[in-house]
Structure 1
Amino acid sequence: MTHPRRTRLALFDLDHTLLPIDSDYEWGEFTQAIGWTDPVEFKRRNDAFYAHYQAGTLDVHDYVRFATEAVRLRGPQAAAEAHERFMREVIRPAMHETAHALLRTHREAGDTVVIVTATNEFVTRPIAQAFGVEELIAVELERDASGWITGEISGTPSMREGKVVRVGHWLAARGLDWSDVETTFYSDSTNDIPLLERADHPVATNPDPRLRALAAERGWRILDLFSETE
């Protein structure tokens, strides 16, 4: 008796995985550069939040309120125009061919490609589109009656264990569960250990030192995607 082949999913973290930069942090730096935020106080707080993220101690709700405040106050049109400039000046120059080639390999193999990121949807949806990835699981932002963001998170944030939860929701919305799919997950960060452990094929990608050591200990594949271009 033959069993149906499981759907193959290629899941990718975004920051320091497909990109050699942190798009969330860089967006904050960009808002300083265009005069949307106080250059001293914003940088102090942005750096502090980033340090907490790296240490695995970030309060994502506090961070999203902070990170989206300038966007929320400026409104949809100004935000969209600023993001277009951000893509042009910051993101596209950081989109390396090695990342495009890896995504292309999975598409050509017939895998479903999904970006799963702890960065919010405002920052990341245009980036996913620029990579040609239609399926994005990101921190979803609550919206008011007019449809504009409030600064709060809607639903479960896709961070740490929340990534496993959100991928589970994504599967359920398509009539699937974990047993129906064969998953490969690429990530650089120990924040993503829960989803790396849940994946059939974890790949420590441009890993931070702690993840590199863990991957070596557990026999996970290690991929230095930008080693030849950085």
Structure 2
Amino acid sequence: MTELAIFDLDRTLTIRPTYSAFLIYAARHLSPWRLGLLPLLAPHAAGYAMKRIPRRRMKEAMHAMALGKRVGRHKVEAVADSFAEKLVENGIFPQAQSLFAKERQAGRRIVLATAAPALYVEPLAHRLKIDDVIATRNSWHGDVLLSDISEDNCYAACKQHRIAEWLEEQGIARNNARITFYSDHASDLPTFEWVDEPVAVNPSKALATIARARGWRVLDWRAEMARA
């Protein structure tokens, strides 16, 4: 039996969401003048809020505005690596590292499964000593990063499908795996319902309600930080 501990990233392991933070960080380092363009995203944000624009398109628009539609690999990977370093220094809940240690001691293989882009999730995972990453794949044309998302955003039902695909790629049969899944958001319900042990971490109001109704384990590191 293969034991797996699969973690969402934003607001599960990280104190704040990472995508917008990364784009602003990268824009400051690569093209600071682009920060002045960010208010132009307002129509896209309104369309997304009204569900007229899908999440994937909103992320592509944000990327194009903050970084441009084409960025050289060397530049953007250096910035992504620096951003990951800063996340580890002050953006991760301190309890996360303790939980990783417990999961490793229990013999579980740790996996990150997130809608955040692989561009900065992979260097972050490396710093956290996590070998396996399932993330939104970035689009590349040779050594040029494009703003397009080449495949579906690794979010909601797509995340569950990507995890199942990853299991197959690893040669792990679902009936020969015991999976614990940690996430903060009800959008991950397809994965929560598919795994063996769902754990709500720093849950949103919707997820907290679901977790209580279904008797799932809940970890609230926000409350622990507030009491500290």
Separation in 2 of the partners of 1:58 and 1:134? 34
* Shift, 1:30, TM fit: 1.7
Deviates more, 1:162-171 or 1:21-30: 21-30
Name 2:201's counterpart in structure 1. 205
Q: How does 1:49-88 map to 2 (within 5 A)?
A: 49=45, 52=48, 59-69=54-64, 70=67, 73-88=70-85
TM-score, normalising length: structure 1 = 0.84
SS of the counterpart of 1:152?
strand
Name 1:11's counterpart in structure 2. 6
Letter in 2 for 1:27: F
Root mean square deviation, CA, Å: 2.8
Name 1:105's counterpart in structure 2. 102
Does residue 222 (structure 1) correspond to residue 221 (structure 2)? The answer is no
Unmatched 5+ stretches in structure 1: 1-5
Deviates more, 1:191-200 or 1:79-88: 79-88
**Does the aligned pair in 1 maintain the 2:138–2:148 contact within 8 Å?**
yes
**Does the aligned pair in 2 maintain the 1:24–1:119 contact within 8 Å?**
yes
* Shift, 1:226, TM fit: 3.7
Q: Among residues 112, 127, 137, which one is paired with 1:130 in the alignment?
A: 127
**Does the aligned pair in 2 maintain the 1:31–1:37 contact within 8 Å?**
no
Separation in 1 of the partners of 2:106 and 2:213? 29
1:172-199 C-alpha deviation (Å, 9 max, x unpaired): 1122232121111000011111101111
Relative to structure 1, the CA distance from residue 37 to residue 46 in structure 2 (aligned partners, 3 Å threshold; closer, same or farther) is: farther
Separation in 2 of the partners of 1:71 and 1:140? 17
Question: Quick one: percent identity of the two aligned structures?
Answer: 24
1:137-194 C-alpha deviation (Å, 9 max, x unpaired): 00012322x2433322233431100011101111111222321211110000111111
Relative to structure 1, the CA distance from residue 64 to residue 215 in structure 2 (aligned partners, 3 Å threshold; closer, same or farther) is: same
**Does the aligned pair in 2 maintain the 1:16–1:22 contact within 8 Å?**
yes
**Does the aligned pair in 1 maintain the 2:10–2:18 contact within 8 Å?**
yes
**Does the aligned pair in 1 maintain the 2:81–2:120 contact within 8 Å?**
no
Separation in 1 of the partners of 2:147 and 2:220? 35
Relative to structure 1, the CA distance from residue 170 to residue 37 in structure 2 (aligned partners, 3 Å threshold; closer, same or farther) is: farther
Letter in 1 for 2:111: V
Q: How does 1:187-202 map to 2 (within 5 A)?
A: 187-202=183-198
Separation in 1 of the partners of 2:176 and 2:218? 26
Q: Among residues 144, 163, 171, which one is paired with 1:175 in the alignment?
A: 171
Relative to structure 1, the CA distance from residue 43 to residue 177 in structure 2 (aligned partners, 3 Å threshold; closer, same or farther) is: farther
